[in-house]
Amino acid sequence: MASPAFQTAGENSGGNNAPTFTEPASAVEGDLLIGVIGNADAGTAITGLTGWTQLAEGDDGQGNRFWYGWIIRGASAPDLVAASANAQWATSCVRIDGHDATTPIGSDHGNANGLGTTPDPPNVDPGSSRDHLAVALVVQEGKGVTRFDPPTSPDVFIERTDIGTTGGGPGTGHVGTTIATFGYTGQAKNPGTFTGINDGWLAATIIVRPAAAGPTNLDMNLLSSTVLYSIFLDGTIDLSHLSSPTLFSIFLDGAIDLTLLSSTVFPSMELTGTIDLDLLSSTTFPSIDVVGLIRLNLLSSTVFHSPQLDAAIDLDLLASTIFPEIGVFATGITLDLLSNTVFYAIELTGTIDLTTLSSTTFFSPQLDGAIDLTLLSSTVFYSPQLDATIELNTLSSTVFPSIDVVGTIDLDSFTSTLFFSPQLDGVIDLDELASTVFYLITVVDPGGGPTSVPQLALRGTDR
C-alpha cells in the first residue's frame, strides 16, 4: 500500500483575464492534481475547469472569490483555464501520487474565513489509521509579493506554493494563494495557523487518502498463458482454472485458492495464510516460502524446489511428486499415503507422520522430534539424521543408507529392511528383527566404547 506524497507544484498570477493554472512539472496520467484559485472580484462566481471535481466555491466575506478542487490527470493535460471576472487572480496547483485511485479525497474536509494575519485551516479527521496527506490551502485578499509562513505547530507543514499578484497590500485589490502539505498516519489533525498580512482570508484543509491495499477479492479466473511479474496479492485470491500462466516473485497473503492449475510455474513465491493448492497437476514451485496451514491434496507430478513449509502441512495422497531441498518447520507434518514421491534434502521438525508410505525416496533428510514412520513399505531414506524418539515400527523392505540416529530407537518387528552405515546412539531396541541387514554399524552403548561391526547381519533375536 502506497502513501500519498507531494511531487511537484505549479503557480500563476495575473489580472484582467481568466484565472489559469500552471500544470505541475512531470505530471503524468493517474496523478492527483489539487488546485486553488483566488480572485479579487467577490461578485462573480468562478466556473469552468471541465473534468475537475469542485470541493468549494464562494465569497470569503472579505472581498475575495475562491475556488478549490481536484482531478485525476488523464493522458493529456486537463482544462487549466477557469471563467470569472477579469480581476487580479492567483492560482496554486500541486501534483500528488500514492493516492487512492477511485476516491482520493477524504470526506472530512472544510474551510473557514476571517480577517487578520493568521489564516486558520479547519481541523480534519480522516477516520482511518492509514497514512494520509493533509493539504492546507489559503486565499488572502491584498496579498502580493509578501510571503506566507506555513504552520509550525502542532505539526510542521511544508510550503509548496506561495504566489501573489504584483504590488499587493491591503485594499489594493490584490490576492494571493498558497498550499502546504503534511504527511501523517491517520488521526484527527489540527493544521495550525499560517502567518500572512492583516486582511481577509479563506483557509481550507483537504485529506488525501492513500492507495488501496491489495485486493480483498481478486478473481483471475479462466486466465490462459498469462505472465504476472512481481505480484503482491492480499485477501482472498481465486486463480481457478488457470492454464499455463507464469507467476514470478509472488507474495500471496490470505486464503489462496489455486484449484485445478495445470502446467503452471511459480518461482520465488511466498505463501502466507491458508493455502489450498488442490488437484494441482505438473506444476513447478521453485524457491517457495510457505507459512500457515498448507493443503496440497491429491497433487500429481508436481515439482517444488527449495520450499520452506511452516505450521501444519497436509500433503495427503501425493503421487509422483518431487520436493528437492525442502525445509519443513512444523508442529504436525502429515505426509499420508504418499506414493512414488521423492524428497531431497528435507528438514522435518516436530511430529512427523509418514504413515503408509509406498515407494518413496528421501535424500539427506534431517528428522527432529517424534518421528512415526509406521507401516512404511519400499521406502528409501538416504543420509537421514534422526533425533529424539524414533519409532520405525513394522517397516518392510525399507532402505536407510548412512543414518545418524540419536535418542531412543525402537526398531521393533522389522522385516527385510536394509540399513547402510548407521550410527546408533542411546537405548537401541532391535527386538524381533528378521532378515534385516545393517552395513557398517557403529553402536555406542552404556557399557563401553563404540564398536564397529562391518557387514553385520542381525536375524531373529541376535543382539
pLDDT the model gives residue 49? 92
Torsion of CA 23, 24, 25, 29, to 10 degrees: -80
Residues 27 and 162 in one domain: yes
Percent of the chain with pLDDT over 90: 14
Residues 379 and 417 in one domain: yes
What's the CA gap between 161 and 156, in Å, rounded?
15
pLDDT bin (cut points 50, 70, 90) of residue 462 is: very low
Residue 177 has pLDDT above 70, yes or no: yes
Which neighbouring-strand residues pair with 415? 396, 434
pLDDT tens-digit series, residues 294-343? 666 666 777 777 777 776 776 666 677 777 777 766 657 766 666 777 77
DSSP 145-211: SPPPB---SSS-PEEEEEEE-SS--TTSS-EEEEEEEEEEESS-B-----B--SEEEEEEEEEEPBP
Residue 417 has pLDDT above 50, yes or no: yes
Q: Which three cell numbers stand for residue 197?
A: 498580512
Residue 163 has pLDDT above 50, yes or no: yes
Domain of residue 164 covers: 5-208
Residues 179 and 261 in one domain: no
Residues 6 or more apart whose Cβ sits within 8 Å of residue 144: 164, 165, 166, 167, 168, 169, 172, 174, 176
Choose between 25 and 412: higher pLDDT: 25
Residue 416: count other Cβ atoms within 10 Å of its Cβ.
14
pLDDT bin (cut points 50, 70, 90) of residue 67 is: very high
pLDDT tens-digit series, residues 98-125? 898 888 998 777 888 888 888 888 887 7
pLDDT the model gives residue 31? 95
pLDDT bin (cut points 50, 70, 90) of residue 258 is: low
Residue 168, CB-side half-sphere exposure with 13 Å CA sphere: 19
Residues 155 and 70 in one domain: yes
pLDDT bin (cut points 50, 70, 90) of residue 413 is: low
What's the CA gap between 195 and 182, in Å, rounded?
17
Choose between 138 and 334: higher pLDDT: 138
Residues 134 and 225 in one domain: no
Q: Which three cell numbers stand for residue 53?
A: 471535481
Choose between 196 and 73: higher pLDDT: 73
Helix (H) or strand (E) holding 135: strand 131-141
Residues 310 and 345 in one domain: yes
Residues 140 and 287 in one domain: no
Residues 417 and 389 in one domain: yes
pLDDT the model gives residue 218? 53
Residue 25, classified by CB atoms within 10 Å of its CB into exposed (0-12), middle (13-18) or buried (19+), is: exposed
pLDDT the model gives residue 239? 64
Lowest mean pLDDT among 19-28, 37-46, 123-132: 123-132
- Name the domain boundary from 208, 240, 272: 208
How many domains, the chain? 2
Residue 168, CA distances (Å) to 40, 176, 200 in order? 11, 9, 13
pLDDT the model gives residue 337? 63
pLDDT bin (cut points 50, 70, 90) of residue 147 is: low
Residues 26 and 147 in one domain: yes
Terminal CA-CA length for the chain: 66
In the numeric block, the cell 522430534 is attached to 369
Residues 272 and 128 in one domain: no
Mean pLDDT (the chain) is 75
pLDDT bin (cut points 50, 70, 90) of residue 69 is: very high
DSSP state of 339: B
CB 23 within 8 A of CB 88: no
Residues 367 and 389 in one domain: yes
Choose between 290 and 232: higher pLDDT: 290
Residues 281 and 379 in one domain: yes
Helix (H/G/I), strand (E/B), else coil: 14: strand
- Name the domain boundary from 167, 188, 208: 208
- Name the domain boundary from 170, 188, 208: 208
pLDDT the model gives residue 170? 44
CATH classification at residue 237: 2.160.20
pLDDT the model gives residue 215? 45
Q: How far is CA 347 from the centre of its chain?
A: 27
What's the CA gap between 195 and 413, in Å, rounded?
91
Choose between 5 and 410: higher pLDDT: 5
